[in-house]
Amino acid sequence: MKTLIPSQVTLDDLADIHWNQTAIRLDVSCRPAIERAHQRIAAAAAGSDAVYGVNTGFGKLASVKIAAEDTAVLQRNLILSHCCGVGPAISRRHARLMMALKLLSLGRGASGVRLEIIDLLEAMLDTGVTPVIPAQGSVGASGDLAPLAHLAAVLMGAGEAEFNDQIMPGAEALSAAGLKPLELGPKEGLALINGTQFSTAFALAGLFGAWRAAQSALVTSALSTDAIMGSTAPLQPEIHELRGHQGQIEAGVTMRALLAGSVIRESHREGDTRVQDPYCIRCQPQVIGAAIDVMRQAARTLEIEANAATDNPLVLSGADLIVSGGNFHAEPVGFAADMIALAVAEIGAIAQRRIALIVDPVLSHDLPPFLTPDPGLNSGYMIAEVTTAALMSENKHLANPCVTDSTPTSANQEDHVSMAAHGARRLGQMVENLERILGVELLCAAQGVEFRAPLITSPPLQRVVARLRQDVTSLTEDRYLAPDLERAGSLIASGELAAITEIEMPEFAA
């Protein structure tokens, strides 16, 4: 159980929640502000003035005044009517990150919910009651309405939830965990479904996976460089310092450290007739480094968003006001997701060109065609390279921006939306594609380095090859390759490669 202070949560905290499904609770210091905002909402609900979402309808129906005795029914109807998600359920990991993000947003003390809402969300995370949330249905404004409604429904004892690996009605899941549903009070339904937590959860998950892949790409790119007997001259620190981009500088330093001590590299410093390597070798720090910088920009946006109050209206305690605004609009998350998508596509694009280089005997500096010792009778990694080309092309298509695609909804009241939800959700497929591209590069680069025997690669990269060989043996003759590709891709996804090298890798914060 991790205790967090809303507005002070870091990317490392969020990564822990994502990867380890860590339960969280809010620090007690935030409870007075939550209670003050609730009291302000309660007073508004008892008053005669119309306050959006407290005693009015919603969206285009905001001008309809609701009687005080109907406010509980109003909130229940809001949740049930907005449970319009479709498609497959999102993963438990994503749903729990959504719940944690919703807690952090409510914890800012601007939403007006009771402490009982906080307590139930915390208890659901602690006991493992996870709402079943369909993946599709949000346009990223006015918040992630449909998916968050499916989350909120379980708090009322409606909807469906997973508990002990079984799907059951929400009320049964709560009961099995020793919890009781709540009747939502004024504005509480609106506070639960207004917000960007679905989009932000998927964008963060995409970021975390992409970051692991980027670190792995530095490893596979260094191994590919040695496999084709590439030059390390383009890794000279002064080159990258003269340009000044932090990601490029760090990528160059990391690759230089990864290749330090390579006997293969030392063997061709003299007498090599090649003057320059192709761009996919020579420009690796420039490309991966740029992707790192872009992801860092996106990471900062998502860290801010994870700590934000994003529902509507908000209780401004200092001014003693309840004000309708637009913090539910997920435009920042949409931009961040598009940035991550571009970075993922480019890391994969240059990796695919390295794979093509290694399997091509004209360009690989005397490696056998398609990395098989008996070409002709065997095809080696010929079609594995084709598979990476397909994945690279798919990622190029998926990288097209989503945030520029808006459409009016809710009778033109919500007339500009962010499309952040599927912009973030598509990152999962893109990262999987990238992991598989890098997995094939790992297979090819390791095979290429082994063909250089008795020359050996650097100690860090020797450890990488040795780890790969625990799961996938060298390709001496053609065999059923699909399992090899899956195992190598899983090794990339695990993040294990970067750790094995014992080389310092770029992190979220420069």
d(CA 254, CA 87): 42
- Residue 302: in which H helix or E strand, if any? helix 284-306
d(CA 305, CA 332): 8
**342: its two tokens:** 């571009």
Q: Is residue 205 a contact partner of residue 428, using CB atoms and an 8 Å limit? A: yes
Return all residues near 196 (Cβ < 8 A) that are at least 6 apart. 140, 143, 144, 305, 308, 310, 328, 330, 333, 420
Half-sphere exposure of 204 (CA within 13 A, CB side): 32
Q: Among this protein's residues, is 381 annotated catalytic?
A: no
d(CA 370, CA 448): 10
User: Computed from CA positions of residues 410, 411, 414, 415, in that sequence, does the dihedral angle turn out positive or negative?
Assistant: positive
List the catalytic residue out of 52, 279, 381, 480.
Answer: 52
Tell me how crowded residue 244 is: count the other CB atoms within 10 A of its CB: 8
d(CA 133, CA 89): 5
**499: its two tokens:** 């750790």
Q: Which residues are catalytic?
A: 52
